[in-house]
Amino acid sequence: MSQREEEILIGALEELQPTVNFASHALIGAGSVFGPRIIPDYQLFYLLSGRAKIAVGGDVRLLAPGEFALYGPDCPHGITILEEAAFIGIHFHFRHASPVPVHPAFSIAASSEEAMAGSLRRRHLLALDGGEELELPPFLAVPGLEPTLMRIVKEYMNEQPGYAMLLRSLMTELLLLVVRNRLADRPQSAEQSKIEPALQAIHREPEKNWTVAELAALCGYHAVYFSSLFRKCTGDNPKQYLISQRIRKAKFHLLSGEKTEAIAERLGYASVHYFSRNFKEETGLTPTEFKQQ
């Protein structure tokens, strides 16, 4: 008999306001045990080295370095360290009005092995554009998280002015890395795979003045069919998609301190005026206004 499930809607991706309540980087010996217990918020337990066994409800998993467990409030769970392990643990809320950390320690409650084994399997769902839902499973391996995780721990420990807001920003970045990894792992639709060569070309060289004919040729299709398929998959025509990718790159260069003229040239614009017009059409701001904000 399959384990009973409960669906929990976290909310819309664009509405997330994460708050980090606690963050630590620790080295702990073999045989150490946490739980069974219940916590008042969410926890991300990321294994840096060693081995650990994690039980989340009725699911049990052996974690290897680079993997993490994610579980929420009122979910009985337990952690057993099988060999000396270094890990990062972060307690957080997905959505909370205040960014100020509230330590969860006083609200952690003991549970039991029976309650843990008999609890519902919780499916945490995040709402995406278009009514689509993305599940965040209890066990994941996502490359590239360690730098952001370490910055979260450092900010939490140092408590410099504005640290709560920076923690919110870093936690948002971390969650988006997880979401994008999950989206990238999904099998592509047959239609999406047909335009993939064009998408890769635009992402690789957004500064090139790609024509529809050139992009269509990369995919092996007539320009008219390709344009229709491209709009169906992305919501934009090829030209508008190229502009969007250029402006996305431009934001990064602006925040890095580059001059507007140099960015316009870098991204293939014939004039700063044309670049600024595209930028305002995409963002509602001029490049100068964007930098000031």
Predicted confidence pLDDT, tens digits, the chain (293 residues): 345 677 888 888 888 999 999 999 999 999 999 989 999 999 999 999 999 999 987 789 999 999 999 999 989 999 999 999 999 999 999 999 999 999 999 999 999 988 888 887 788 888 887 567 888 989 988 888 999 999 999 999 999 999 999 999 999 999 999 998 888 776 667 777 889 899 888 888 888 999 999 999 999 999 999 999 998 888 889 999 899 888 888 887 887 788 999 999 989 898 999 999 999 888 888 998 887 76
Amino acid at position 182, single letter: R
> Residues near 220 by Cβ (< 8 Å), separated by ≥ 6?
none
The answer, yes or no, to whether the previous bond of 238 is cis (omega within 30 of 0) is: no
How many angstroms separate the CA atoms of 284 and 81, rounded? 51
Crossing angle for the helix pair 212-219 and 238-255, to the nearest 10 degrees: 100
Q: What is the pLDDT of residue 1?
A: 34
Q: What is the pLDDT of residue 293?
A: 67
Strands 109-110 and 33-38, by their bridges, are antiparallel
The strand ranges marked E within the chain are 5-12, 19-28, 33-38, 42-56, 59-63, 67-71, 77-93, 109-110, 121-127, 133-136, 139-141
| Residues making up the chain, counted from first to last | 293
Amino acid at position 216, single letter: A
Q: Which fold has domain 190-292?
A: Arc Repressor Mutant, subunit A (1.10.10)
Q: What is the largest CA-CA distance in the chain?
A: 69
Homologous superfamily of the 5-185 domain (CATH): Jelly Rolls (2.60.120.10)
Map out the domains of the chain as residue ranges.
Answer: 5-185, 190-292
Q: What is the pLDDT of residue 2?
A: 44
